[in-house]
Amino acid sequence: MDGFHMSLLINKDGHQLGPYSLDEARALVLSGQLDPTDWAWPDGATDWIQLKDVPGFSSTKPIQPAAAPSAPAPAVAAVAAEQELWRGHPSQVLNYDVYSFWALILIVTLAVAVTLVYLQECSQEWSILLFGIVALVALINIVVAYIHLRAIEYVVTTQRVRIVSGIFSKDILEIELFRVKDTMAHQSFFLRLFGLGTITVLSGDERQPRLVLSGVPNAIELREKLREEVMALRQRFGVREVDVM
């Protein structure tokens, strides 16, 4: 890599700084803000090396004899702190068919019970019992449907997309943004009435090639933010998509 265009991450006293160009790093050493023995991670490196050992780096600052700090663990090139773009659950609008079905069943059951009492075909006590049983079954189904969606959480950050699901046990599906190949947003007519949509994330990871976030508010805007973060990370990591024919 051309040294004039090389960028460096610097680890000084456990704090990650940068990225800097070689000229910027050299100026910081000469000003005393960095030491030649600080650890650096140049573009394309596989491990940390001391700044003075980076190809093309030189400074006129004498190196003070001192014990070199232990090398930090390898790190990826991303230095910006991970920030949360959005966190939420699938909208309960997705349960519209369940709620509507059981609401209709309750209305029909109530109408039948009242009619039977009015026609004296059934006692009031039996009518109340009939309606109570149906109402209990409806309540159970509605609660189960509500909890099912509530137990799913979507988390979108500047580095990853994550789906956490489960009540007693937890399952986590995750895609790192720099692996994302494409994103899509879709709004059906029904979901659009509520300002909701579905975001699909496609990745090059064969173990987790696809994540679907359903019932997401402002899906179009969130997808656009996600796309911008994907492009920024892919440029930072030097990721290029290669199609195999």
Q: Please indicate, yes or no, whether residues 142 and 181 belong to a single structural domain of this protein.
A: no
Q: How confident is the model at residue 4 (pLDDT cuts 50, 70, 90)?
A: very low
Backbone angles phi, psi at 240, to 5 degrees: -125, 135
DSSP 69: P
Q: Is residue 27 part of a domain?
A: yes
- Summarize the confidence of residues 143-151 as an average pLDDT: 97
Residue 198, both tokens? 């579905």
Kindly state the helix (H) or strand (E) to which residue 183 belongs, with its residue range. strand 180-186
Question: Which position has the higher pLDDT, 3 or 201?
Answer: 201
Q: Please indicate, yes or no, whether residues 139 and 164 belong to a single structural domain of this protein.
A: no
Yes or no: say if 214 and 90 are a contact pair by the CB < 8 Å rule: yes
Q: Say yes or no to pLDDT of 95 above 50.
A: yes
Yes or no: say if 72 and 39 are a contact pair by the CB < 8 Å rule: yes
Position 169 scores a pLDDT of 92
Q: Give the range of the structural domain holding residue 36, as residue numbers without chain letter.
A: 3-53
Q: Is residue 72 part of a domain?
A: no
Q: Is residue 71 part of a domain?
A: no
pLDDT digits (tens, 9 = 90+) for 161-188: 999 999 999 999 999 898 899 999 999 9
Q: Please indicate, yes or no, whether residues 136 and 157 belong to a single structural domain of this protein.
A: no
Q: Please indicate, yes or no, whether residues 39 and 101 belong to a single structural domain of this protein.
A: no
SS3 state at 223: helix
Q: Is residue 76 part of a domain?
A: no
pLDDT digits (tens, 9 = 90+) for 185-208: 999 999 999 999 999 999 987 888
* Count of domains forming the chain: 3
- What percent of the chain is modeled with pLDDT above 90? 50
**How far from chain centre, in Å, is Cα 83?**
10
